[in-house]
Structure 1
């Protein structure tokens, strides 16, 4: 028996590849299936099952394409109604894989079909659980995503999750290994650890959710402090539940090379969203007007999903040369399939064609430290509320990037402001969005608070509630 965790950092997502005696199973696969097919062929094993812990909200799974290619059935837990052929397993149902057995533990609460897969080794001993979004390391799945589909409140779902954990997970032995679907950085929980594998015994000791005195305390603990889910979550659930266009077709369409003239005509004629995935250090010096910058070298897919929201809206790409396929692939993981093509030759070709370009007004940290007058100048910190509370530029206003669609309408276009984030990644996203919507009255601080923290700029960790922007 071999178990491999295939962890994708930008999504904070764990897929699992299991083999035993010539047979294989894959749990919660990513959208692109070629790596799995290649691995199966290399290992000389047959894919027997594709297990899905639930209908994922934060990414599009590769279950449909993988099943079509291999013939392996897709297995969900109870209550799973799919728009394609799938097995909705019974609670306690056993699936034989080579010399091992996988048992379905129905653990609703995050969603109604959510299930944990218990792997029993060759001797029949409980070896590990693939806990999906039921149990994370340091946290549990948020109970507010399935409210509409379940016609239940988040408190009712949290109570259901409590029963699932107490009755199905907690009775298992301490030496059982926990393999969750996500780690720190995922929006599917609020307090996940950076580690991606742990023992159940350790989680019983340190996980706050597993150490509440009763159900009422658990419900309060897991529902407090939940941020609004990203807008694209519901659309990803629908794709995972009903099916989707094959990844190969999406990739082929997205890799349509467009000359600068063709790119410009496509942008004007389709109303497409122009996404520039270059690093912020290159973007601010020049870009195609109306482009939004979300760099590949960061939390690319989650921010794309959170800020663009409508996965069906047409996209045009500006990338570094050679990064086109990676960009299309990573967008497809969160459901952005309507990619019309990319700018052939990148931004350099745009300039060579004599096309109009735009820039972001950026200031070096040392210059910011010399020039800013905190008694007169307005400074906006677009980091999270927790980052802001820990330390920030004195008198800075907190406007988290995640809420930019809420606070952008309150900006006075005649009042200049400085803007920073943690390292420059998020502030460049915000800068590009602001410029795309006609705002020019700001200066982005290079290097973000990481650089500012070492500069002679007054700072504080005092939180003035009137300066914190919350979601409506």
Structure 2
């Protein structure tokens, strides 16, 4: 028996590849299927089942492409009703894979079809739990995402999750390994650990939501407290996972169309495409194509695309560092942005060499900020998450989270200069690009963000541990 966790950092997502005596199972595969088919070919095994823990909201699964290529059926737990052929598993149903068994544990609450899969090894021992979005390391799945589909309130879903955890998961042996679908950085929970593997015993001891004497009312209050609004693309991803989508190969083929600099702007205008520049923030600041939005491929790229662009049907043309075109299209497809028309051939350098118009961002150092800012007089906008701001921030700064920029941008006075920062410069450059695309130019963005500002003499509030802020 072999279990491999295939973890994708930019999505904080874990897929699982399991083999036993010539047969394999894959749980929650990502959009692109080649990593899985390569493993199957290398190991000389046949894929028997593709297990889905639920209809994912934060990424588009590769279950249908993988099923078409291998002939393996897609398995969902109870209450799932997708628009394609699948196996509707019953609670406690067992699926043999080689010498092992995978047992279905229906664990509703995050969504009503949410299902965990218990691996029973060749000796009949309960070995590992693939917990999907029901149980994370240090957290549990948020219960507010499926309210409309389930015709339930978040409190009702939370109560359902409470009983799933206590009757199906906390009763398992303490040494059962826990393999969740996500880790820190995912929007599917609020306080996940950076660890991606644990045990039932460790979670019972350390996970706030699994406290032994916790009442249902306490659970509901703690699990629902402090939930941020879900990213706008979540609903579209659920629909795509339920209904079926174009093959990944077709999406990749379209996105890899090379567009010459002299036709790039015309293509964008004719199609209504958004110009998405995925270069590093420092390179973008030095020069970019007017109206471009910067979301760097080197950070949490896909989730921020989903949060800021929102509409998965939005046509997109790309400006990337040469050689990163395929990776960029792939990462966009993972969150359902399938309408990439093409990319600028030769990257931004080709645009410059052609002599076309460019713009820059007024990026200053933290030392310059320290010399220029006047606390109580200057306007400072902090685009970090509320928990980061509450932990510590520049004195008198305004909290304006990047994810809510469409709500607060209208309140900006274009005639009043302001300073803009995040933690390190990644998010503030996204904000800067959006601001300038909408006509706001009277600001200075701080290179290095709060991390660099904290090393200067700029007055700040007292530091509070973020874990305490989240409690």
Structure 1: distance between partners of 2:404 and 2:347: 30
* Structure 2 unpaired stretches of 5+: 465-471
Structure 1: distance between partners of 2:61 and 2:106: 20
The normalised TM-score by structure 1 is 0.97
Alignment map for 1:57-456 (pairs within 5 Å): 57-211=57-211, 213-456=214-457
The equivalent of 2:469 in structure 1 is none
More displaced stretch, 211-220 vs 132-141: 211-220
Structure 2: distance between partners of 1:218 and 1:398: 29
The equivalent of 1:466 in structure 2 is none
Structure 1: distance between partners of 2:359 and 2:270: 20
Structure 2: distance between partners of 1:375 and 1:65: 57
Superposed displacement of residue 375, structure 1: 3.1
The DSSP-based 3-state class of the residue aligned with 1:392 is: coil
Superposed displacement of residue 314, structure 1: 0.3
Superposed displacement of residue 213, structure 1: 2.0
The equivalent of 2:37 in structure 1 is 37
Structure 1: distance between partners of 2:136 and 2:107: 13
Superposed displacement of residue 461, structure 1: 3.2
The DSSP-based 3-state class of the residue aligned with 1:4 is: strand
Structure 2: distance between partners of 1:361 and 1:207: 44
**What is the aligned-residue RMSD (CA, Å)?**
0.9
The equivalent of 2:467 in structure 1 is none
Structure 1: distance between partners of 2:105 and 2:372: 61
Structure 2: distance between partners of 1:126 and 1:30: 26
The DSSP-based 3-state class of the residue aligned with 1:393 is: coil
Superposed displacement of residue 62, structure 1: 0.5
Structure 2: distance between partners of 1:386 and 1:37: 41
Structure 1: distance between partners of 2:386 and 2:222: 19
Q: What's the CA shift string for 1:37-84, capped at 9, x where partnerless? A: 111001100000000000000000110100000000000001111111
The DSSP-based 3-state class of the residue aligned with 2:148 is: helix
Structure 1: distance between partners of 2:54 and 2:363: 44
* Structure 1 unpaired stretches of 5+: 464-472
Superposed displacement of residue 168, structure 1: 0.6
Structure 2: distance between partners of 1:460 and 1:165: 39
Q: What's the CA shift string for 1:116-151, capped at 9, x where partnerless? A: 000000011100100000011111100000000011
More displaced stretch, 367-376 vs 336-345: 367-376
The normalised TM-score by structure 2 is 0.97
Structure 1: distance between partners of 2:385 and 2:217: 29
Superposed displacement of residue 310, structure 1: 0.1
How many equivalent residue pairs? 463
Superposed displacement of residue 394, structure 1: 1.2
Structure 1: distance between partners of 2:242 and 2:444: 44
Structure 2: distance between partners of 1:173 and 1:428: 48
Structure 1 moving runs of 4+ over 6 Å: none
The DSSP-based 3-state class of the residue aligned with 1:306 is: helix
CA contact (8 A) 1:388 1:461 kept: no
CA contact (8 A) 1:389 1:461 kept: no
Structure 1: distance between partners of 2:353 and 2:341: 22
Structure 1: distance between partners of 2:83 and 2:182: 25
